[in-house]
């Protein structure tokens, strides 16, 4: 399965939850945002991880403090570029997909720190 398939599933889930897509795969040197959405006036930066098997770790274990720091830096750049400021209400979510994308388990964690 490709990462795009997992992101498609995560995006569908977010849209079903009332999110509006702002950007997908926003890249800057040293960082990438998988999905950027808006829900009830809050910009949501969602990291998506997929693992077919657990031999290299479960998908939910892939969000580290280092990764969160990179996401925060990239998110600040996105906010400044998109809105002209970086004090826009926002949060960081994490979607982990374990197993086959079409039949696996999707875990959505909101407001991860």
> What digits encode the pLDDT tens for the residues 12-69?
999 999 999 999 999 999 899 999 999 999 999 999 988 765 545 454 566 788 888 9
Report d(CA 83, CA 79) in Å as an integer: 5
CA 15 to chain centre: 13
Partner residues linked to 31 by β-bridges: 28
**Taking the CB of residue 51, how many other CB atoms lie within 10 A of it?**
20
Report d(CA 100, CA 98) in Å as an integer: 7
Residue 74 vs residue 107, higher pLDDT: 74
Which pTM was predicted?
0.87
Go through the domains of the chain in sequence order and give each one's CATH number: 3-109 (3.40.1350.10)
Partner residues linked to 50 by β-bridges: 97
């Amino acid at each position: 399965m490709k990462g795009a398939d997992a992101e498609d599933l995560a995006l569908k889930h977010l849209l079903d939850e009332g999110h509006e897509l702002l950007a997908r795969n926003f890249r800057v040197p040293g960082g990438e945002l998988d999905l950027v959405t808006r829900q009830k006036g809050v910009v949501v930066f969602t990291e998506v991880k997929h693992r077919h098997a657990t031999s290299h770790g479960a998908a939910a274990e892939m969000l580290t403090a280092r990764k969160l720091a990179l996401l925060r830096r990239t998110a600040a750049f996105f906010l400044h570029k998109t809105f002209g400021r970086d004090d826009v209400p926002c949060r960081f979510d994490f979607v982990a997909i374990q197993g086959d994308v079409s039949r696996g388990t999707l875990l959505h964690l909101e407001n991860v720190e």
